[in-house]
Chains A and B, each alone.
Chain A
Amino acid sequence: MIDNIIHAAVVMTTPVLLAALGGLINRVGGLVNIGLDSMMLAGALFGLIVASMTGSWPVALLAAAAAGGVVGLAMSLAVTRLQANEIIVGLGFLVAVAGLVRFFLSVAYGSSGTLSLPDVARLPRIDIPVVADIPVLGAILSGHDPLTWAAWAMVPVTVWFLARTRLGLRLRAVGAAPQAARALGLNPLMLRDLSTVYAGIMSGLAGASLSIGVVGIFNEGITAGRGFIALAAFYFGRNRPWATAACALLFGFFDAFQIRMQGRGVPAELVQTLPYAMVIVVLTAVALAARRAKARRA
């Protein structure tokens, strides 16, 4: 029972973590990405289609990453080159991409919102011998797909990237002070575009982890607002990768818990509101703490 929940929690954390790490980089670069969900949707769809066409999951992941990256690039260009408000552009992309996806499904497959394809190459599960039989630890470490491992590996990589690499430092400079960064000879727009494309790639992979990792089919509601949960995770984590990952894990647990509680008298709808309510509570707590700190200084 507890092993099942832990295992499901790790599985449900993967898409949120991937998208959140992408959104984190994007936000460090100065762009709050409301449209992560649309990039996840694109990745989930193209991941599944290519997984069915080629029968190869690595190729499918590449396709999902590319699909997410293209949506990210289009969004970024609207924000950086046409100076559009990032929040509204993000919302616009949510509406437009959801429409595009349904339009495409209906034109190309004659289907309304759901796509089930033959011979889909699913993400393989990596079972670790011996460890798999240990309670709790086995559920945490064994039986997960490569994307889950990649997502967690990206946490320290992101820390290192932001703190130690030239590109990471430049990105932070661009996010913190675009004018100063320009004076130093950096190209803020280009760097910001890069960070949005990266967010798109990560979100595309997040989508693929749902479509060819978890369920094996595509549905127009497959992301179920997880792009917003990812947004909440990096907002919470205040741009720190480990804190963001901890939040993603917490949401993963909520997700797994909610699935387990279905049919046990606890209304799933109410459990579903918890992560969103927590976002508001934590934002409030952070603001209160900031005000108290300011009052102490004064």
Chain B
Amino acid sequence: MSGQAVATTPAGRSAFLGMLEPLGPLVAAFVVAGLVLLAAGHNPLEVYGLLATEAFGSSRRIAATLSAATPLILTGLATAVAFRAGAFNVGVEGCIFVGGLAAATVGFTFAGLPAALLLPLALLAGVVVGSLWMLTPGVLKARLDVDEVVSTLMLNFIAISLTAWLVNGPLLAPGSANSATPMIADAARLPKLMPPSTLNAGFLIAIALLGLYALWGSRTALGFETRLAGMNPRFAIASGIDVPMLVIKMMLLSGAIGGLAGGIHALGNVGRFVAGFSPGYGFTGIAVALLGRGSALGIFLAALLFGALANAGATIQFFSDVPIEIVDILQGTVMVFAVAQLGRLIVRRRRAA
């Protein structure tokens, strides 16, 4: 009894485990991907070493990694805010598409406006449209208890097809054969931070939002209510919190951040909206939110990891025969292990022994 108390206080122990917890899924995922690499005749350690140098080896490479992490910070954040309120939003991918198209459309339509006006306006368009995209699943979840996983998942496919139609027809750039809008005005472009690299002001916006999220979660009443509602809805209702309204608010906020992610991708990287706009940023965002355990620092580190993998994966293909798909395998396995109780593996083995 006393020995138990002396060894580790429950609080101290859980804080320590909490820090180590995300490492388990990472290690497990790297082992699985390592086995795949081994089976394909590659030395996993060599590949991982190469990935690390390519991702962080020079300031130019670090800039590219931060640039690749930018949309993931935002989509991870978007997933995390909904998750906090107990709403499992898997529709951030769709928000990127509609938000990106909205921002790009403003960016090429009002080309005459000065940058100080056009840029915020275009980003705002992405935020508003992304937010509205989540209105239906939010209201359906809050008022009718319609499974938000299914509704938001379906909305992803609708968003992708709908935007593909728009850029093939009404919004197709004149004289362009491929499905894309016209290029946005220079005034709508997010300024680059380190010119040769694609790193742009969107990264600063993402970091600022992360800071706001941390403050919001720990310092504001809404942040506290949201956490309460996510952890125990019945207790939250009993203590006078309007949980359905909270769910709607958080879904709208989630959609707004997702739309912003699309807007930043359009105005900072692509310069317009094209069909197949997002390579799954929304889905990677789920992995980021899970791995980051919903904390601002965790989300940043997880986004950095996936950004590094995506960035380095693209370049190592040039001078080695390691297929870039190893990055997808890593992402998927991280997602699987991030929610698995890895401790069970050890417990069972000990029991068997």
Contact = CB atoms under 8 A, between A and B. Distances in A.
A287 B40 contact: no
A284 B331 contact: no
A103 B36 contact: yes
A88 B137 CA distance: 18
Interface stretch (B156-164, B191-199, B227-235): B156-164
Interface string B7-29: 00000000000000000000000
Given A92-B335, A270-B162, A276-B158, A82 B345 contact: yes
Greatest chain A CB density within 10 A among B280, B323, B325, B330 is at B325
A96 B328 contact: yes
Contacts of B154: 228, 232, 276-277, 279-280
A98 B328 CA distance: 8
Contacts of B283: 91, 94-95
Given A273-B161, A280-B151, A95 B335 contact: yes
Given A88-B286, A91-B335, A103-B40, 9 more contacts: A78-B336, A84-B336, A96-B335, A106-B323, A231-B150, A269-B168, A270-B161, A276-B157, A280-B151
Interface in B49-84: none
B136 interface: yes
B346 to A, nearest CB: 11
Interface in B325-352: 325-342, 344-345, 348
Interface stretch (B101-109, B140-148, B182-190, B237-245): B140-148
B150 A283 contact: yes
Contacts of A94: 283, 332
B115 interface: no
B152 to A, nearest CB: 10
Contacts, number: 148
A100 interface: yes
Interface residues of B, number: 54
Nearest to B284: A95
B332 A102 contact: no
Contact of B150 (A78, A82, A88, A235): A235
B209 interface: no
Given A100-B325, A272-B161, A283-B147, A89 B140 contact: no
B162 A273 contact: yes
Contacts of A98: 328, 332
Given A103-B323, A269-B161, A269-B168, A85 B339 contact: yes
A57 B53 CA distance: 47
Contact of B328 (A91, A99, A277): A99
Contacts of B312: none
B165 A267 contact: yes
A40 to B, nearest CB: 16
Contacts of A102: 323, 325, 328
A98 B333 CA distance: 12
A291 interface: yes
A106 B328 CA distance: 14
Interface string B214-256: 0000000000000000000000000000000000000000000
Given A92-B333, A99-B326, A87 B146 contact: no
B169 interface: yes
B149 interface: yes
Interface string A106-135: 110000000000000000000000000000
Interface string B304-329: 00000000000000000001011111
Contacts of A89: 335-336, 339-340
Shortest beta-carbon contacts, A-B, top 9: A96-B332, A99-B328, A92-B335, A95-B332, A269-B165, A82-B340, A92-B336, A287-B144, A103-B325
A272 B335 CA distance: 29
Contacts of A103: 36, 40, 323, 325-326, 328-329
Nearest to B144: A287
Interface of A: 34, 78, 81-85, 87-89, 91-100, 102-103, 106-107, 225, 228, 231-232, 235, 267, 269-270, 272-273, 276-277, 279-280, 283-284, 287-288, 291
A91 B329 contact: no
A270 B338 CA distance: 36
A84 B90 CA distance: 17
A280 to B, nearest CB: 5
B340 A78 contact: yes
A89 B339 CA distance: 8
A101 to B, nearest CB: 8
Greatest chain B CB density within 10 A among A92, A94, A277 is at A92
Contacts of B147: 283
Contact of A228 (B137, B153, B327): B153
B327 A99 contact: yes
B210 interface: no
Contact of A87 (B88, B155, B330): B88
B329 A273 contact: no
B290 interface: yes
Given A95-B280, A96-B332, A277-B158, A83 B340 contact: yes
30 contacts: A83-B340, A83-B341, A83-B344, A88-B335, A88-B336, A89-B336, A89-B339, A91-B283, A92-B332, A92-B333, A92-B334, A92-B338, A95-B284, A98-B332, A99-B326, A99-B328, A99-B330, A100-B36, A102-B325, A103-B323, A231-B150, A267-B169, A273-B157, A273-B158, A277-B154, A279-B154, A280-B137, A280-B155, A283-B146, A291-B144
Contacts of B325: 99-100, 102-103, 106
